[in-house]
């Protein structure tokens, strides 16, 4: 088993990796690597962010650095560990200067995201921030006011539950959003049932708050 709870040698896990892609010239030039999703390939809970930043590009994993610390703290408060959930992004390569991915770049990477959603078939998808929320719902989203809402969206051929959330970085710039973010992640754990999975967490007891 890998450190993220999935079997690194399983065909499913291999299918979720993107070994090479040259579709977006600006991203190919900006990236040092392709950053694939991490976490169990049968996770009940899937988090979708915008794209890799500098830390993610360096380490090859979504949501590391300060934003990742906030997400990890919120997961822990909800009785989950990072190893319990799947974390991915709308685009898998770092945009230059951490700008938002363009519509074309999002479209170029959409097939990879749809394949990941299809293979995982998660009980709940959580969008972390405005860009992934608008990308998956295909509409404008006022993320600060809509955070915490659950909507249905047709993704990867099926109607799926999507929980909207602000980006964890928002809590670093505006401390007043921290409580709401933590409440949204707690709701995600409850709605997905991920926190009640047997053996959840590194010691099987994380859902009881024993860290």
CA 10 to chain centre: 21
pLDDT tens track for 69-119: 999 999 999 999 999 999 999 999 999 998 999 999 999 999 999 999 999
Does residue 1 have a pLDDT over 70? no
pLDDT tens track for 111-144: 999 999 999 999 999 999 999 999 999 999 999 9
CA 88 to chain centre: 4
Q: Report the SS3 class of residue 152.
A: strand
C-beta separation of 164 from 143 below 8 A: yes
Instruction: Write down the pLDDT at residue 202.
Output: 39
Does residue 173 have a pLDDT over 90? yes
């Amino acid at each position: 088993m890998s450190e993220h709870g999935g079997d690194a040698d399983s065909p499913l896990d291999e299918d979720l990796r993107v070994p090479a892609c040259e579709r977006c010239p600006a991203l190919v030039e900006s990236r040092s690597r392709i950053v694939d999703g991490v976490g169990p390939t049968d996770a009940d809970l899937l988090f979708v962010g915008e794209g890799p930043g500098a830390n993610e590009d360096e380490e090859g994993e979504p949501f590391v650095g300060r934003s990742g610390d906030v997400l990890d703290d919120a997961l822990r408060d909800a009785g989950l560990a990072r190893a319990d959930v799947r974390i991915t992004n709308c685009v898998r390569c770092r945009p230059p200067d951490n700008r938002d991915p363009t519509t074309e770049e999002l479209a170029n990477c959409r097939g990879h995201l749809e394949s990941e959603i299809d293979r995982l078939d998660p009980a709940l998808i959580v969008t972390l921030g405005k860009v992934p929320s608008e990308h998956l719902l295909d509409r404008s989203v006022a993320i600060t006011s809509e955070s915490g809402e659950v909507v249905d969206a047709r993704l990867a051929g099926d109607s799926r539950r999507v929980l909207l959330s602000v980006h964890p970085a928002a809590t670093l710039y505006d401390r007043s959003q921290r409580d709401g973010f933590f409440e949204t992640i707690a709701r995600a754990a409850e709605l997905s049932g991920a926190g009640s999975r047997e053996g959840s967490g590194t010691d099987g007891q994380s859902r009881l708050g024993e860290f």
